Amino acid sequence: MKKLLSKKRWIITLLVIISVVLAVFTYNRATGSKLEDTLAFVIVPLQNAGSSISRGIGNITSRFKGTDALSEENRILKDELLSARAEVSRLRMLEEDTRKLEALLQMSDNYPDYEVQGAYIISKDPGNWYKSFTVNKGSSSGIKKDMPVITDQGLVGKVSRVGVNYALVTSIIDDSEAVTSKSLRTGDICYVNGTFSKDDTCIMQYYDDKADFVVGDEIVTSQLSKIYPAGIRIGYITEFGGEGNGTVNSGLISPAVNFKNLSYVLILKNNFEQKPIEETTETESK
């Protein structure tokens, strides 16, 4: 089969050559031209065709080169756009951080008896809520255990452990600590701490059945607190519900501070030496 195809190719090639030679001589006799003119008559069109093909290939190559250049330029522009967007985002974050710091610093005028120390949160416990977290200020900045921690929104919690260049803060939504509080409207006393089941809610407890609390009341720190200055906003009462033992009344409080979105806090550095909690408890029991 292959030999038959090969023979056919040779025959076709031979016929093409014979046809070209006959065309050359026929043209030569008809026009009386010289051999070189006759060859030129045949070759020049072939050369022109070859030149056209070469130009076409060159144009296609140039187009590919142009496309590559456009692709590279497009890539550079995309990179520049991404860089510009990143810079805009960075500036917006810086602007937001500056706004928060300014709001916090304005709070210092409310506490003339305290030296205010700004701190940045560097880590927190797993989860969405800031039940406890670490700030970048410690004993080298004069930070001590039990110092109050606030934001411009209200009470955050207190310092629970101190290192040289860091401090651990326990927030009021943690269920381990209770804050002595009161209604800003009536002055009735209650105690506020976090709940086991709701990270975004605090529970309030009060023992006086005649206490006047209503939904919507603002709850603030009380003058009876041994740690916190009086009048720091804690949150607002959202509902009531008794514990069923006949002695303790309870309700729920929505914290004023957004414990899902904290970045900067203020630490109130006491200008006096606090008594140890154990000593205070013994004195009060006497």
Q: What is the 3-state secondary structure (H, E, C) of 32-66?
A: CCCHHHHHHHHHHHHHHHHHHHHHHHHHHHHHHHH
Q: Which residues contact 204 (CB under 8 A, 6 or more apart)?
A: 181, 190, 191, 192, 213, 219, 237, 250, 251, 252, 253
Pairing, β 189-194 against β 202-206:
antiparallel
In a domain, 11, yes or no: no
Question: Which CATH number do you get for residue 265?
Answer: 2.40.10.340
The answer as to whether 37 is a domain residue is no
Residue 99 included in any domain: no
Q: Are 219 and 238 in contact (CB under 8 A)?
A: no
- Within-domain flag for 205: yes
Q: Domain for residue 256, yes or no?
A: yes
Q: What DSSP string describes 174-188?
A: STT--EEEEETTT--
How confident is the model at residue 18, as a pLDDT? 60
Look at residue 123 and tell me if it is in a domain: yes
What is the pLDDT, as a whole number, of residue 76?
83
Assigned domain for 15 exists = no
At which residue do the structure tokens 């590559």 appear? 68
Angle at alpha carbon of residue 131, lines to 185 and 98, rounded to 5°: 80
Residue 163 in any domain: the answer is: yes
Per-residue model confidence as pLDDT tens for the chain (286 residues) = 545 445 555 666 655 566 655 555 555 555 555 555 555 555 555 555 555 655 655 665 666 566 777 777 787 888 777 777 777 766 666 666 666 666 666 667 777 788 888 898 999 888 778 889 999 999 999 999 999 999 989 999 999 999 999 999 999 998 787 899 999 999 999 999 988 777 778 999 998 888 899 999 999 999 998 899 999 999 999 998 655 455 788 899 999 999 988 888 999 987 544 443 343 333 333 3
Q: How many domains does the chain have?
A: 1
Supply the pLDDT for residue 272. 44
Full domain range(s) for residue 265: 115-271
- Which pLDDT belongs to residue 28? 53
239 alpha carbon, distance to own chain's centre: 34
Model pTM score: 0.61
Residue 273 is predicted with a pLDDT of 45
The reported pLDDT for the residue numbered 282 is 37
Residue in 181, 168, 232, 172 with CA at minimum distance from that of residue 211: 181
